[in-house]
Amino acid sequence: MGTLRVILGDQLSQTITSLAGCDKSRDVILMCEVWDEATYVAHHKKKIAFLFSAMRHFAHNLQKAGYKVDYTKLDDGENAGSFQGEVKRAIARHSIDRIIITHPGEYRVLQDIETWQETFGLPVEIREDDRFLCGLDEFRDWAKGRKQLRMEFFYREMRKKHGILLENGNPAGGQWNFDAENRKPPKDGLDIPTPHQSRPDDITSEVLDLVEARFDSHFGDLHPFHFAVTRQQALNALDQFITQRLSQFGDYQDAMIQNQPWMFHSHLAFYLNCGLLLPLECIRAAENAWHRGDAPLNAVEGFIRQILGWREYVRGVYWLKMPGYGDENFFAANAPLPEFYWSANTKMNCLRQCVLETRKNAYAHHIQRLMVLGNFALLAGVSPAEVNEWFLIVYADAFEWVEMPNVSGMILFADGGFLASKPYAAGGGYISKMSNYCDNCSYQVGKKNGPKACPFNYLYWDFLARNRAKLADNQRVGMMYKTYDRMGDDKKQAITDDASRFLKSLS
């Protein structure tokens, strides 16, 4: 008798806890491509191709390392279509007396796994996912008794715990956070390196054919496909980021330039989230670049904060708030998601560009997600459920544990301020300052009202006015009401009328 060790599509790390203590002569590793996972939301074609190809390469490498791997491809005739069904089939095929799996990334999947012991009459061990730098119990302890959680304080604890960017126990450079230096607008003539690109091999080509045939109706362009799909390729992508982009990551972290989807970002979330890269190795690589003098502290600290701070923090919040986080709706927002989030058919150039790039690359960088796509969904009062589904579908790095807190917590403030201290609402002025999108727009960012005015401008004030009862006491937003109150009645009416006309035109 042996152990069935189940590895999910986002657990592609050779150090995954479910493999610890594996008896290669008796234990069986189960990996499966299943219809339920590929369609519970209609993921972007590139996302499915990326995960299936990475899974197949990972299984291949496990086999080469001497593991007994049982791998079900999506189009295998007997494929049961679900994790539960595939585990059942594997138990029937092999001589199994227990199941081991690492804690999954999604609550939905955990609920399913928790039924296996009873369903199959075998002991099921769910092991901690130690690829994260903060355990779930540890986060719960940190959060206990705090009325409000703030990422910044959590991040400082993580810096101390892991000894990152410390000098004699103090923060390197005398500050924990160098964000103030990381808000440069874009400038002409920036030399942005070409992003890392891997060439599809035979395994990837087979997967691309499969996705083309079976997921044709899903959103997104399948070709060209250049994601890294092996650990070695992902390490190359990390190395390329550290040597070519990191030094400018901080300065232009918030900048957006038309037709420059990749900017100086790392594009590593794809690989971190499926397990091809580990958070600590990315953090150490950045820290070492600073020690070598290859990248300035504002860039290195900014990058590390995203991984050691935000990434761990949102995961902690997700597991603290589940189940039910996705149902929270502080503003009672219930508008449908505008059709242009799929078609890009809008005269608002910033939104059009961000949707077009999302469709092409299954990627948009943080500030596009936050201040363009997210900001609009917030101001337009789109229902959290619809926004969550869209963000989960369209990005190849999207898994619910990281997508949902960013959507419900960060952009929609649907949790009433549990994750973030204020809604990231902004008018067109912010987008105009941080991008060149407005240069090519049918609307005029300088105009506040009327048919030619940038819709972000009046939607912003209309959002504040509509939600006054819920926001007036928020210290970070409250002062905006002083500005609103100084406006004349005609101006306030124009805001309401423009917003109402514009929002009606969306449906």
**48 near ligand FAD, judged by CB under 6 A:** no
Considering the complex, what minimum distance in angstroms separates the CB of residue 48 from ligand DLZ?
5
324 sits in the region (left: phi over 0; alpha: psi -120 to 50; else beta) called: left
Q: What is the 3-state secondary structure (H, E, C) of 360-423?
A: HHCCCCHHHHHHHHHHHHHHCCECHHHHHHHHHHHCCCCCHHHHHHHHHHHHCCCCCCCCCCCC
Whichever of 13 and 432 has its CB closer to ligand SF4, that residue is 432
Can you state the angle between helices 489-506 and 455-466, rounded to 10 degrees? 110
Considering the complex, what minimum distance in angstroms separates the CB of residue 212 from ligand FAD?
24
How many residues belong to the site for ligand SF4 (CB under 6 A)?
Answer: 14
SS3 97: strand
**494 near ligand SF4, judged by CB under 6 A:** no
Considering the complex, what minimum distance in angstroms separates the CB of residue 357 from ligand FAD?
12
Residues 327-366 that bind ligand FAD (CB under 6 A): 365-366
Rounded Cα distance between 69 and 77, Å, is: 18
Considering the complex, what minimum distance in angstroms separates the CB of residue 260 from ligand DLZ?
28
**369 near ligand FAD, judged by CB under 6 A:** yes
Q: Which of 48, 378, 454, 494 binds ligand SF4 (CB under 6 A)?
A: 454
**437 near ligand SF4, judged by CB under 6 A:** yes
Q: Mark 83-108 as b/e (b = at least 16 C-beta within 10 Å).
A: bbbbbebbbeebebebbbbbbbbbbe
Residue entry with tokens 């291949």: 60
Structure tokens at 204: 């990837």
Considering the complex, what minimum distance in angstroms separates the CB of residue 130 from ligand SF4?
43
Q: Which of 132, 290, 395, 458 binds ligand FAD (CB under 6 A)?
A: 395
Rounded Cα distance between 263 and 383, Å, is: 30
CA neighbor of 69 nearest in space, from 79, 81, 56, 82: 56
Residues 3-42 that bind ligand DLZ (CB under 6 A): 8-10, 32-34, 37-38
Considering the complex, what minimum distance in angstroms separates the CB of residue 454 from ligand DLZ?
36
Q: The dihedral of CA 171, 174, 179, 183: what is its sign?
A: negative
Rounded Cα distance between 474 and 72, Å, is: 52
Q: Which of 266, 298, 358, 467 binds ligand FAD (CB under 6 A)?
A: 266
Give me the 332-361 binding string for ligand SF4, x by CB under 6 A, dash otherwise: ----------------xxx-----------
Whichever of 122 and 280 has its CB closer to ligand FAD, that residue is 280
Structure tokens at 137: 């119990």
**80 near ligand SF4, judged by CB under 6 A:** no
Q: Which of 16, 99, 256, 268 binds ligand FAD (CB under 6 A)?
A: 268
Interaction site with ligand DLZ (CB under 6 A) = 8-10, 32-34, 37-38, 43, 48, 51, 104-106, 109, 399
Interaction site with ligand SF4 (CB under 6 A) = 348-350, 428, 431-432, 437-438, 441, 443, 445, 454-456
